[in-house]
Structure 1
Amino acid sequence: MTVLALSCILVLTIGGCVCVWWAARGGPRWTRAVSAATLAAGELARRASRYDRNPSGGDD
């Protein structure tokens, strides 16, 4: 079950990266929407990992 969940996450991540690449080259409108969602999710993950490393809440 864990392998299935991780495989789904991997497929979604790769698909999101492809949409970011395609949208940057003028792809269809839906790729721009998926691209924006992928970039927003990446930004949230980056901020979450930053807060995990620095529990005091200060900036780097």
Structure 2
Amino acid sequence: MVGVVLIVLLALVVGGCVCVVWAERGGPRWVRGAARVTLSAGEVVRRAEKRRRRSGRRNDGAGE
């Protein structure tokens, strides 16, 4: 079951990347929308990772 979820997630990520490339080349409206969603999701993940790193540094250095 976990394998199926991972395969579906991988397919969504690859499909999103294809939509971003296709949209850059002037694809149809739905492709541009899918690309926008993909890029927005990437930005959310990037910001969450930055926050996680910052909070981890503060916690690690507090005991010294």
- Structure 1 runs (4+) deviating above 3 angstroms are none
Instruction: Report what 2:26 is aligned to.
Output: 26
Q: TM-score, normalised by structure 1?
A: 0.89
What are the ranges of 5 or more consecutive residues in structure 2 without an aligned counterpart? 59-64
Count of paired positions: 56
| CA RMSD across the alignment | 0.8
Letter in 1 for 2:7: S
Q: Which runs of 5+ in 1 are unaligned?
A: none
Percent identity for Structure 1 against Structure 2: 50
- TM-score normalised by the chain length of structure 2: 0.84
Q: CA deviation at 1:22?
A: 0.1
